[in-house]
Amino acid sequence: MLHRLIYSDWDHPPESMAFEAPYEEILARIKALLPGILAGKDEALDSPATMPPGYWDDCIALYLLTPALVNISLNFKVCVEQGLPLHPTYYFEVSEATRFQATYPAHMIERTNGFFISSIETARMLYALEPDAVERLDRFICDLPEVISGFIYTSTKDKYTWRASNPAKIKDLADYIQKHVSPTLIVGAAHGSILSGLILANTLKVPLYFIRFSMFKRNDAAPIIAPSDRAFLEPYRDGPVLLFDEDVAKGTTLTKFAATLQPFFQESYTASVLRHALSPCKPDFVGRSWHD
């Protein structure tokens, strides 16, 4: 639903896409924005010309803030499961685990995974503008582990991530997928795929999961898969499952992501909102092709 209220120049990311804030501050900003957006959504859909400019600014702000819910919770999960220190401003690379050898109790690992799943579900409700989204957000905030409340979320003006966030392009991908397959699950390569993955999953009305594979920002050599991830994926073994990245240029991320994840499923397909026309990587499903 929120994606139907976004009007923007999709070739150039807005200045508001570049921001940095603590997790708890982002949640507070979302909580402040949400009631007004919910109250105005019917009028905005029926008569957009009557809405004040500030309403559309608020919609874009919510669109850009919501991925932080999943981003921070996923990094929290990775740190706890991979034995990395918890630090509010510095994300340790997985390769540094042997250097620190941090250990966390089983109940904390279990709670961290529950919080991660909740972050995906809450983000999907925010994007869907469900009537009880405010209540769900309140529960999520109440369950926020204090240790990550001050973790800093950084969003940058990434041109291709922004272009892949275009609702029209995501709809093109969803329409193409629906003509050929009915996926049982989408697994996104995080962090870049979070925003578009949330919208795609809501459009297709299928479950969604993310596995961190950040080759360039976090220097991940491979998708970071823990026993909890294997346990989550197991019920979907028969498929069909979509292995998703938001855009494909050289295609290295999606190619490696698919090579690692495909053995988990009997039937799986690759998908991307955008693909460079000259890319050697050719996902099974693409929303749009682009040229520089």
Confidence at residue 288, expressed as pLDDT on a 0 to 100 scale: 84
- Write down the domain spans for the chain: 2-155, 159-290
Give residue for tokens 């204090």.
Answer: 146
Q: Which of 156, 155, 153 is nearest to 25 (CA)?
A: 153
CB 221 within 8 A of CB 199: no
Phi, psi of 146 (to 5 degrees): -60, -30
The two structure tokens encoding residue 185: 């699950």
Mean pLDDT per segment of 10 residues, for the chain of length 292 residues?
A: 85 90 97 96 90 93 97 95 86 70 90 97 97 96 95 90 92 96 96 94 98 77 93 97 90 91 97 82 86 68
Confidence at residue 141, expressed as pLDDT on a 0 to 100 scale: 97
Confidence at residue 63, expressed as pLDDT on a 0 to 100 scale: 95
CB 6 within 8 A of CB 63: yes
Q: List beta partners, residue 268.
A: 241
CB 120 within 8 A of CB 210: yes
Confidence at residue 40, expressed as pLDDT on a 0 to 100 scale: 92
Q: State the architecture of 159-290 in CATH terms.
A: 3-Layer(aba) Sandwich (3.40)
